Amino acid sequence: MKDFQKLLLANKSWAAHQADDDPTFFTKMAEGQNPEFLWIGCADSRAPADRITGTEPGQIFVHRNVANLVLHTDFNMLSVLQYAVEVLEVKHIMVVGHYGCGGVKASMGNSDLGLINKWIRNIKDVYEKHHDELEAIADEDLRTDRLCELNVLAQVDSLLKTTIIQKAWKNGNKPYVHGCILELKTGKIKQLIHVEPKDLSSIANIYKYDV
Ligand code: CO
């Protein structure tokens, strides 16, 4: 309980500090949000979107789940994506994975993890797609890190396969789509891929809709 009380006290002090710094901060925040970025990241506690990008509340719309997956059966992710694209009209969507991801690591093993099996099975599919490249990497940590990267690229493609993105691009709206990876050892984010609006060249025709 003590730890939780400490958290509330820290919040109190943060709020007082913010109000002290800028007396209009909370009035402005309560009026509404106009973020330019949608962040789809891992739920890992070491990857907080605003803290590591030096942004303020109101600047990044955030969705996080285990291993930053973009699954077309996930109504949570799809709702966040649709709202961000169609209502908030964000200019950039970033899928942000991180090296040493526990979800990615777990997907490379054979342990029965219960319900989580079903979630990370999607990463096993990414592994199988790049089986030869990954099996050629002898060092286990390096192999995990490469799968972390390949997983990000697969989720970027998965975003392009949604009618939400395809429709937005057809209507002349942004957003740009970025695939990024966070290196926990340095705190730095590296961009792996950047997709311009209307560029569906990385996905097969069968995934393109008459939107
Ligand atoms: Co992770």
Residue 194 has what pLDDT? 97
Cα 69 to Cα 64, 120, 137: the distances in Å are 9, 9, 24
Show the low-confidence residues of the chain (pLDDT under 70): none
Cα 65 to Cα 81: distance, rounded to the nearest angstrom: 13
Cα 178 to Cα 49: distance, rounded to the nearest angstrom: 14
Q: Hey, what are 43's tokens?
A: 């739920």
Percentage of residues of the chain with pLDDT beyond 90: 98
Residue 173 has what pLDDT? 83
Residue 66 has what pLDDT? 98
The pLDDT tens digits of the residues spanning 91-146 come to 999 999 999 999 999 999 999 999 999 999 999 999 999 999 999 999 999 999 99
Q: Hey, what are 157's tokens?
A: 């493609």
Distance 54 CA to ligand 1 centre (A): 20
Segments making up each domain of the chain, as ranges: 1-32, 33-47+56-200
Distance 25 CA to ligand 1 centre (A): 32
- The residues that bridge with 60 in the sheet, in sequence order, are 37
21 is known as an active-site residue: no
Cα 182 to Cα 46, 53, 66, 189, 210: the distances in Å are 10, 11, 15, 4, 35
- Which homologous superfamily does the CATH classification assign to the domain defined by 33-47+56-200? Carbonic anhydrase (3.40.1050.10)
Distance 10 CA to ligand 1 centre (A): 26
121 is known as an active-site residue: no
Q: Is residue 181 a contact partner of residue 148, using CB atoms and an 8 Å limit? A: yes
